[in-house]
Amino acid sequence: MAREHFFRDRFVPVTTILVAMVVFWYGFAILMNAPVQRDMDQRRGEMPGFVEFIGKTLSQAKPIVPAPHQVAANVFENTFLRKVTSNRSLVYHGWVTLSSTLLGFLMGTVLGILIAVGIVHVKVLDRSLMPWIIASQTVPILAVAPMVIVVLAAINVTGIIPKAVISTYLSFFPVVVGMVTGLRSPEAMHLDLMRTYHASVSETFWKLRVPASVPFLFTSMKVAVAASLVGAIVGELPTGAVAGIGSKLLAGSYYSQTIDMWAALVAGSVLAGLLVTAVGILGRLVERGMGRRPA
């Protein structure tokens, strides 16, 4: 019965959307590559048939929009057929981006939790800090990243730290919002009960507010880890990095290697999916360890 529900409620809808996206992708690739292919055929004096022309639009060396099978072949070749130390390996570039992502995610999570605890317990911080935190997220990251790189480089802080700081900037906000909501989620009746027991602020925090906030925390951490990955990739762009998914995207744009660019994009998407899944599994393990029943 569970397999039937999984097949009907998860597998069929997700597969349908995936197939639709691939079909749309092929159609879009043909539409975008057709003018270039038509121009190339005219220069060569060739008049291919319809099927041959479609095949050519989907097999160009430097297409405007690469076909899905071209991207899949590039991902397979640069993931499984190259040494992980090769500068063409997506595993190598993914690891470089992942290292700064994880450091920035860790820093952002700790910072977000500390700010949330302060906001919940100190009214002055609630009134003064929260508006500035919200305002900070209205500044485009593409404008913030170069400033962070320049300022930290001026004090000889280079390497992974500037990229991690940019990841922290993006990842702390969802943690703050989720943690504040979670710490404030206990009902008034439960807080009154703790006062009846003469529980201290610390006891109320650790025995009531923190357990209530765990589901909110891990939900926000899923958003934060994906945002942290975006921050790490953006952070690689203004640094002139020679490794990382961001540098792969930048090099692809310089040399019109669109297939490499899309392959790097796919690698980043897979990495984001793995990170979100890992945080979700960690959240379920923590909740199960706390005795919470699965929904």
Residue 3 has what pLDDT? 64
Residue 72's closest CA among 32, 22, 31, 15? 22
Rounded Cα–Cα distance for residues 104 and 227 (Å): 10
Q: How far apart are CA 22 and CA 30, in angstroms?
A: 12
35-43, long-range: CB < 8 A, 24+ apart: 36/60, 36/63, 36/64
Task: Count the helix, strand and coil residues of the chain and give each as a percent rounded to the nearest 5.
Answer: 80, 0, 20
Q: What is the DSSP string of 5-64?
A: HHIIIIIHHHHHHHHHHHHHHHHHHHHHHHHHHHHHHHHHT----HHHHHHHHTS-SS-S
Judge residue 260's burial from the number of C-beta atoms within 10 Å of its C-beta, 0-12 exposed, 13-18 middle, 19 or more buried: buried
What is the pLDDT at residue 293? 63
Q: Are 230 and 108 in contact (CB under 8 A)?
A: no
pLDDT at position 198 is 86
Q: How far apart are alpha carbons 238 and 242 in whole angstroms?
A: 11
pLDDT in 10s for each residue of the chain, 295 residues: 566 677 777 788 888 999 999 999 999 999 999 999 999 988 888 888 889 999 999 988 889 999 999 999 999 998 888 888 888 888 999 999 999 999 999 999 999 999 999 998 888 888 888 888 888 777 788 788 888 888 888 888 878 888 899 999 999 999 999 999 999 998 888 888 888 888 888 899 998 999 999 999 999 999 999 999 998 998 887 666 678 888 888 888 888 889 999 999 999 999 999 999 999 999 999 988 887 765 5
The predicted structure's pLDDT at residue 78: 87
- Six token digits for residue 162: 């500037």
